[in-house]
Amino acid sequence: MTTNTLKAAPTIPLAHLALALAVVMVWGSNFAVIKVALAHLPPLLFASLRFFFVAFPAVFIFKRPNVAWSRLATYGVLIGLGQFGILYIAMNGQIAPGLASLLMQTQVFFTIGLSMVLSGERVKAFQVIALLIAAAGIGVIMAHADAATVTPLGLLLTFIASMSWAGGNITARRDPGADMLAYVCWASLFSIPPLVILSLTLEGWPAMVHAIRAADGATWAAVAWQSVGNSLFGYSAWGWLLARHPAASITPMALLVPVFGMITANLMLGEAMPVWKLTAAGLVMLGLGVNVAWPQISKALRR
């Protein structure tokens, strides 16, 4: 095979690469920031505040996307309650932030599985190999799990959150032309009610009032980082990039999320990075990398 048989990959301007890197850094740091907010806010109240500030005042600025209300509601509940509400509960003493940032990326495999069930997509050999590699990494985590890093409940809750994220992905894929920023803002209207109701039921009104009164500047900065940085900036910038470049050129950068997640957890929270954790991270990310990159590698080899 000669070099002439391979087409050059589309060139991405340096400024666009920097923007993608900024999004990935924000998404990665998200997990350490969550831990900061959970020091003062109960998890479901924290999630309620996050999605309140995603929805308001944005719904008065952005026109509602031309999609069915039912899909906005489904996405809002899956992402608001299913992904972040449950993730916050897991991170409230059940799983370390760095590991959470890593295991949440298993949503890639849950998305594939849901696509197979709902639309009849067939699993490919490279996807099975990728899943087995990632599963080996999860096995390493389970073998070394303890109360300081991840409990069995924390592992279960994180996987449920990851599956909910996958369900949100499948829902959003049904409206590929929608403005994703407006979609997220309007869908957040449906995230708020179940989160508030469950917070009132499980955490209680007195605890909610006390937490808000006790919240300091760092706590409110963490809420703003979640709402403005993670949701509004992250989703809008990522959608803008995907609208201008092939998905295969942009989406692999998301594999850096757990890298930044584990680095920020170490720097901000002092989370330890033993060899077993780095080995597990390497296996999970290798599995994710095979799943993302193999179709392009295979296509290039056939030319």
pLDDT in tens, 143-161: 887 767 888 899 999 999 9
Query: Is there a domain that residue 5 lies in?
Result: no
Q: Residues 165-210: pLDDT tens digits? A: 989 988 988 888 888 889 999 999 999 999 999 999 999 999 999 9
Residue 124's domain comprises 26-302
Indicate whether 16 belongs to any domain. Answer: no
pLDDT at residue 14 greater than cutoff 90: no
pLDDT of 69: 97
Report if residue 6 sits inside a domain: no
- The mean pLDDT of 31-53, rounded to a whole number, is 96
At residue 2, does pLDDT exceed 70?
A: no
Q: What is the dihedral of CA 26, 286, 142, 103, to 10 degrees?
A: 30
Per-residue pLDDT tens for 210-256?
999 999 999 999 999 999 999 899 888 887 887 777 665 677 777 78
How high is the pLDDT of residue 111?
Answer: 79
d(CA 75, CA 195): 14
Averaged pLDDT, 133-141: 88
1 belongs to a structural domain: no
Query: From the centroid of its chain, how far is CA 55?
Result: 18
Interval 87-110 mean pLDDT:
90
- Among 26-30, 88-92, 120-124, 264-268, the range of highest mean pLDDT: 88-92
Ranges 72-81, 193-202, 258-267: which has the least confidence: 258-267
How high is the pLDDT of residue 249?
A: 67
Is 21 inside any structural domain? no
Handedness of CA 50, 227, 292, 72 (dihedral sign): positive
Count of structural domains, the chain: 1
Residue 125, token pair as written in the block: 């050999």
Show the 3-state SS of 25-51.
HHHHHHHHHHHHHHCCCCHHHHHHHHH
Is there a contact between 153 and 98 (Cβ–Cβ < 8 Å)?
no
Instruction: Give the whole-number percent of the chain exceeding pLDDT 90.
Output: 50
Any idea which residue has 């920031």 for tokens?
33
Q: Find the length of the chain.
A: 303
Contact 239, 72 (CB under 8 A): no
Is the pLDDT at 10 greater than 70, yes or no? no
Which residues, 6+ apart, have CB-to-CB distance to 206 below 8 Å? Answer: none
- pLDDT, position 5: 42
In a domain, 40, yes or no: yes
Q: Report the percentage of the chain scoring pLDDT > 70.
A: 94
Q: Has residue 1 got a pLDDT over 50?
A: no
Domain for residue 14, yes or no?
A: no
Distance CA 79, CA 68 (A): 17
| Environment class of 162 (CB within 10 Å of its CB; exposed 0-12, middle 13-18, buried 19+) | buried
pLDDT of 135 higher than 90? no
